[in-house]
Amino acid sequence: MAIFINEHTKVIVQGLTGGQGKFHGLRNRAYGTNVVGGVTPGKGGQDVEGIPVFDNVADAVRATGADASFVAVPPKAAPAAILEAAGAGVRFIVCITEGVPAQDEARVFATLQRDFPGTRLLGPNCPGIISPGRCNIGITAGEIAQPPTAGGRNVGIVSRSGTLTYQALFELKQQRIGVSTCVGIGGDPVPGTSFVDCLAEFQNDPETSAILMIGEIGGSAEEEAAEFIKANVTKPMSAYIAGVTAPAGKKMGHAGAIVSGGKGTAQGKMDALRAAGVKIGANPTEAAQLMAQIIAALG
């Protein structure tokens, strides 16, 4: 199995006719993802290398049966694109767009919670999601991901950092450890999907034997995850928290990666996760090595 997406997921690309949407949409299709259409207002009836383009998401869903959307549009257009997809009945939306104002993110998140509880948003400002060998939505390079082994011990990955998402995937591939699903939740202040959301799914996924978590400074998401792990997660975990040497008050990479008022420090997050039984790596490579030890011990 996998979480959120699989080989049956039908994907549309909002912004398929743009540079980024076309590049990554075609890469996703080349990986084997079932990309069934694209959406660009005013360009309905065209196609991008055989992928039909529609004027709006509702038309695309009616024509293709799409149940997932890849949003690759500029920051000003992203909130409306997300809500349009939700309004058309899309159940899973991946938005890679960077630079969406936090106020817009909060408004969209609240609207989805209130009006579209059946729709899940991943992002904005995230690398997306990949269930290796089955489906890839976003900007992750599929070749760095090791497909899961049927009946074997496979790992679920959840990460706030895009770059470290890639490193975690490649580190496990070098160890020949299969990945059930890798979710990049993004590091913005108001992510559509949280650590806790993913941990709950991995805990219930029979194909996932262990979980690798990548966090970073800022906010309280990792501490909230630690509380959830302590109460609900029985599968073994390793983790890495980025930003040990980050000075307080300085943004480090993401809008959400900032230590403020002494809260959100890497040490505090590591302490909370360690208290929940998670093995903590001093760097991404060590976190992957700890995961290799965990998988070996599972037999």
Coil vs helix vs strand at 226: helix
The Cα 147–Cα 162 span in angstroms is 19
- CA-based nearest residue to 82, from 15, 6, 164, 149: 15
The Cα 141–Cα 149 span in angstroms is 20
- CA-based nearest residue to 109, from 175, 182, 188: 188
Tokens of 76: 């000003």
The b/e string for 205-224 (b: 16+ C-beta within 10 A; e otherwise) is bebbbbbbbbbbbbbebbbe
Active site residue 24: no
The Cα 208–Cα 15 span in angstroms is 33
For residue 35, the cross-strand partners are 11
Q: Which of 24, 134, 254, 269 is catalytic?
A: 254
Per-position DSSP letters for 109-121, written without gaps between them: HHHHHHH-TT-EE
Q: So which residues are the catalytic ones?
A: 254
